Amino acid sequence: MELREDFVKEALEPEANISKLCQEYGISRKSGYKWLQRYAEQGVSGLRDLSRKRRKQEQTAEKCESEIVSIREEHPDWGGITIERYLQAKRKGYVPCSNLPQFLSSMGAKALIFEDRKAELTKSWSN
């Protein structure tokens, strides 16, 4: 963090050349301006590294979760994509497919994540 503080201190001087400073510090101009913006908004605390933890996509509604489990129990060979299409056909609204395999795994069900994709690719190549 000291590197960032030093960069900001130098960048805030009246005749500072941001491009040259970025080059000297071995950072991109985009990073340099990002640090300056964070410093302006949050002070020194804004120069800390932010978490790289991925933000969760839209959560599957609790109402749908029990239905997904029951569908999976009835059709254990169906993967996330097939379940998603089944729910869409029943007009239950959009259920993000990327969440379904994670949800099925978290519920202890055997998630067949790639089976539907493999079948789709096989169909498209055989045409």
One digit per residue, the tens of pLDDT, for the chain of length 127 reads 788 999 999 999 999 999 999 999 999 999 999 999 999 999 988 888 877 665 544 454 566 677 777 888 888 888 777 887 887 787 656 555 556 667 777 665 544 444 555 555 556 555 5
pLDDT in tens, 39-70: 999 998 888 887 766 554 445 456 667 777 78
Alpha helices in 26-127 (DSSP H): 29-42, 62-74, 80-89, 99-106, 115-126
Packing angle, helices 2-11 and 18-25, rounded to 10: 160
pLDDT at 113: 45
Q: Check: CB of residue 75 under 8 Å from CB of residue 111.
A: no
Task: Decide: pTM greater than 0.85.
Answer: no
User: What's the confidence (pLDDT) of residue 62?
Assistant: 61
